[in-house]
Amino acid sequence: MTRHSWTTDNQREWLEAKKAAFVDTKQKGNPALKEFYQEVFREFREQWPVPPITADEISAAGSTELAAKIKRDGYDKVCDITISILGVID
């Protein structure tokens, strides 16, 4: 049985390219690692932005603002999980 991937092939390839920088930064300690993760998260979000909300999502949420928050939070959760893969990429 294969492990469920939170990433697309393109996302995984992008993360693989960050692995060496991750290892170097991890050796420097927590402050550098925190900055590294913030930068990777920002770059990841630029590469794979949250899609626009749909009319159905607005209707289900009850407002444009809430629909946008729900969608953004969901994508950010996946982004956090995806970026955490840096620590476990073989």
In a domain, 2, yes or no: no
In a domain, 19, yes or no: yes
Residue-number span of the structural domain to which 38 is assigned: 9-87
Q: Which residues of 43-52 are buried (b: 16+ CB within 10 A; e: fewer)?
A: ebeeebeeee
In a domain, 4, yes or no: no
Has residue 1 got a pLDDT over 50? no
Tally of domains within the chain: 1
Q: Residue 60: its pLDDT value, please? A: 96
Cα distances (Å, whole numbers) of residue 55 to 61, 65, 66, 71, 79: 10, 12, 12, 13, 24
**Considering just the CA atoms, what is the radius of gyration of the chain in Å?**
16
Q: Are 11 and 46 in contact (CB under 8 A)?
A: no
Each residue of 67-81: pLDDT tens digit?
999 998 888 776 776
In a domain, 57, yes or no: yes
Closest CA to 49 of 41, 57, 39: 41
In a domain, 16, yes or no: yes
Neighbours of 11 (CB within 10 A): 19
